[in-house]
Structure 1
Amino acid sequence: MSNNKIYILGIESSCDDTSAAITCNGEVLSNVIANQEVHAKYGGVVPELASRAHQQNIVPVVQQAIEQANITKEDLNAIAFTKGPGLMGSLLVGTSFAKSLSIGLGIPLLGINHMQAHILAHFIKEENGRTPPFPFICLTISGGHTQIVKVSDHFNMEILGETIDDAVGEAFDKSAKILGLPYPGGPLIDKYAQKGNPKAYKFSKPKVEDLEFSFSGLKTGILYFLQKNLRDNPNFIKENLFDICASIQHTIIEILMEKIKNAVQKTQIKHIAIAGGVSANSEIRKRLKLAEKQLGWSTYIPKFEYTTDNAAMIAISGHLKFLNKEYSDISVTAKARLKVNET
């Protein structure tokens, strides 16, 4: 093993994707993801099925990641794994595997906070890649989280505001479900919105404090709006699908942008990053690019493959922890609930 190369294996198993990645000095050599098709027919993730699928996938996925990186497991310097937050059964598969491998190879273990990892994906070394300078504001948006985080250092994060009920990804997926679109519906709303008029229908925005979010009222509003229109015209959704999707997306992104503007005003920090699965949304990316021109912000948008759950973000977080010698004890446990500012 050469001294100047640090190889980290990252393992991610917080929800329904089993993923393994290898980084070398912060560069991604491989990032393998096994999706679980089994959940689509249930319209959402079934925890028991998810953990079973992780058990089947984890060995081949790790094996593939090591092969693709063109190294052997003996080259590894440490193993990073998601310890939370997530589905307990899923987390336990990754945690147990990482512990066993770390004991077997006699190398350090690095327990990673999944929410921190989404943000730290910005520090993956890329050609011509820009990394945000500290402090920066990160909007973390996914199926389970919606929060504005002030990032003062790699592992020094403070929540400035978060959702008081549903996450933004859930608002997308539930709206899609009401429209009769298959799961996961968020990306389909984004796709159909491209062809529609975002101002066709108006949905009321929730009134919540300053940097807090709320999406449950919006979901109810969308449901009532569709029920009313379907009574008058049973083909309403079919005939107006693109406009409905565009209007829903427009409303959700407006809410997100208003809150980021509030955060910038409050903190005077103009370096803005996004992270999490919903940061793959084309409209939020477009609006942030626009804000660079109009508001003088510097915006940092991750590559598509690092937005949804992936092990590359776990490996880079592990790399940064390894440099600080912040190793985890073998007694480290999985935690279903973990805030972004908790280790």
Structure 2
Amino acid sequence: MHLPPTGAIYAIYYTGLAVFAIPVNLTAIVILSRGKCGLSKCISRYLLSMSVTDLLVIITAVLLNRVPGIYFPGTFLSITPVCSLSIALIYAVRDCSVWLTVSFTFDRFVAICCQKLKTKYCTERTAAVVIGTVCVLGCLVNIPWYFLHEPVYIIDNVPWYCKMKDLRYSSPMWAAFHWLDRILTPCLPFFLVLLFNVLTVRHILAASRARKRLRAQSNGEKQKDPEMESRRKSIVLLFAISCSFILLWLTYVVYFIYDRFTVDKILSFPVLIAAECANMFQLLSSCTNTFIYAVTQSKFREQLKMFVLSPLTLIRKLVSR
């Protein structure tokens, strides 16, 4: 993320991502903040916070890092203190976005699999505390990134661009911080999302079989189960968000494993392409949730349609006067 790649493909991709993802996430934020999507306040808080952090990821990593680096190199954004702050912010909002996805997955796991804990944990207040804690810790953990860079060169006493300090080769503290950073994002979240989904699927299958047996014994005929129907949309939403996260972060995780455990690190063209593809997919994950909401939630689609058509409705009212 420190040195944006150049080339027509990257220019088109990152420009399109910024132009597309920013209004998409803003639309999701407006719709979810209205609270008219038929979701509980607990779920709405998580989805709203995820949309906000996804928007911040696009702004910091794409709009203020990738795009200026491709089209406008050498602007004030390339001054070392600004560059260092930008890097720290990119890592901070990325961590917040990832761990809010984990928090939402855990919340749905508790709601579906832990009925005794559900009433205490799956509340609007708990969601607010979890979201606040995740965001504060995400910012605090990434403060060291600001101090780990130095200028590439100095012109007229102005430091330009950022490069890692040489301590990355000799400092045990840097090695520990770098490992901790990669474990916290994305390795541990990747594992936790997989784990919670596997446990949730196992519980759903077991509960579904048990309820079918009970209903067959009591009714003797097949009927729709209102409770299972009411939980279906929540489950589909959970799995859609989780699968999107896993698929789009998979390349990043594989590249990290390769980079950490390969003895002879040769920076060949395919390796560099794989590294940048990992970043591209990871950033793409910050604009997919809105489409997931639209596909899985009928009331969100209704609100989206109203939001899109509202300017036309307003114009029609003004003209009719």
- TM-score under structure 1 normalisation? 0.27
Larger relative strand fraction = 1
Higher relative contact order (CA 8 A, sep 6+): 1
- Structure with the largest fraction of helix: 2
The structure that has the greater radius of gyration is: 2
Report the TM-score, using the length of structure 2 for normalisation: 0.29
